[in-house]
Amino acid sequence: MKHFDVFNGDADGICALHQLRLTKPLRSLLITGVKREVQLLSRVPVSSDVSVTVLDISLDSNREPLLALLRLGVEVEYFDHHFSGAIPDYPNLRPHIDTTPAVCTSLLVDRHIGAKHRLWAIVGAFGDNLSPAASKLAESRMLQPEQIERLRELGESINYNAYGDTEADSLISPLDLYKTLRVYSDPFDFLANEPIAQALHEARHRDMQLAQRLPPKVTLSRGALYVLPNEPWARRVRGVFSNFLSTTFPDRAHAVLSKGSTGDYVVSVRAPLENPHGADGLCRRFATGGGREAAAGISRLPHDRLGDFITAFEQAFADDSQAKPGYR
């Protein structure tokens, strides 16, 4: 029987699978991709002679291929924190799903395996912009401030690598990155021995400097919307730039859009950290939108719906504020 590990190619998905397989080694076929490739379960062959573990991709976005597998009796274990909708009631489905804002998939796996590889859970949580949760876990391991900062940098750099529209935008494919780090039970050993760790760190900081020079396209009393250019650096950085804005201005919501070659947009939305709700509801109002309460996105926003999105963003987060266009 073949086993498939299907996982998001961002920091949370990679670190979640890594913890699980360090604890429960299993020869498996790997399916992943850049962060916007959310319908990964459709790549698993619909056959009764397979089993599947799914990590950090929305059940709701993968409902049909999941149901096709479950109806054949395929054993599926599912770890996730995104909007799920109704969870199918099948005895061969083992769901570990928690959509509360302070949880990510790496934390769910950490809970499931009894914190056996907590340092990687910390990396995943930092990458998913859950700094309070990550810091609390770091305290449980009595890490020094400089160690915590190194794990934060690693999580953010792994996450940064996954945000391109295609793998051509990434410095390393998410699959190759996972294969590189899975031999390390300790993330500090990975940092010390793998050049890709430093390369991701340097590229992320370089791209962030470019993003921070851009003014917002629209400002609200409780939020801001940025549009990044049609460049690989902009596509890579939109997620970590969104997280930076969210952390820097925790009382505001943010949307970061990057323009593609067709003129359409990919969208990252962050709800205010002080009230981390509403991001997924906003994005699910648009085709290809989804995510979780605190952070969500739209894979393809048609250019002629930008005005509709700005209006919806304002309604979702700005209350009685008025939009102030800041077109360059």
Per-domain residue ranges for the chain? 2-202, 214-325
CATH code given to domain 214-325: 3.10.310.30
Q: Could you give the CA distance from residue 38 to residue 57 in angstroms, rounded to a whole number?
A: 6
Instruction: Return the pLDDT at 323.
Output: 40
For residues 151 and 187, is the Cβ–Cβ distance under 8 A?
A: yes
Task: Enter the tokens of residue 289.
Answer: 């939108």
Instruction: Return the pLDDT at 318.
Output: 66
Q: Which residue from 328, 315, 207, 200 is spatially nearest to 255, judged by alpha carbons? A: 315
pTM for the whole structure = 0.89
* Polymer length of the chain: 328
* Gyration radius of the chain's alpha carbons: 19
* H runs (alpha helix) in the chain: 11-23, 63-71, 105-112, 118-127, 131-140, 145-161, 174-181, 187-193, 195-212, 232-248, 279-283, 306-317
Q: Using one digit for the tens of pLDDT, what is the confidence trace for 199-216?
A: 999 999 999 999 999 999
Going 271 to 327 to 236 to 193, the CA torsion angle's sign is negative
Instruction: Return the pLDDT at 270.
Output: 95
Report, as ranges of residue numbers, the positions in the chain whose pLDDT lies below 70: 318-328
Q: Is 47 exposed, middle or buried (0-12, 13-18, 19+ CB in 10 A)?
A: exposed
Task: Enter the tokens of residue 99.
Answer: 């959509």
Number of Cβ within a 10 Å radius of residue 214: 15
Task: Enter the tokens of residue 231.
Answer: 């460049």
Instruction: Return the pLDDT at 275.
Output: 92
Q: Could you give the CA distance from residue 31 to residue 64 in angstroms, rounded to a whole number?
A: 17
Instruction: Return the pLDDT at 319.
Output: 57
Instruction: Return the pLDDT at 259.
Output: 86
Q: Which fold has domain 2-202?
A: inorganic pyrophosphatase (n-terminal core) (3.90.1640)
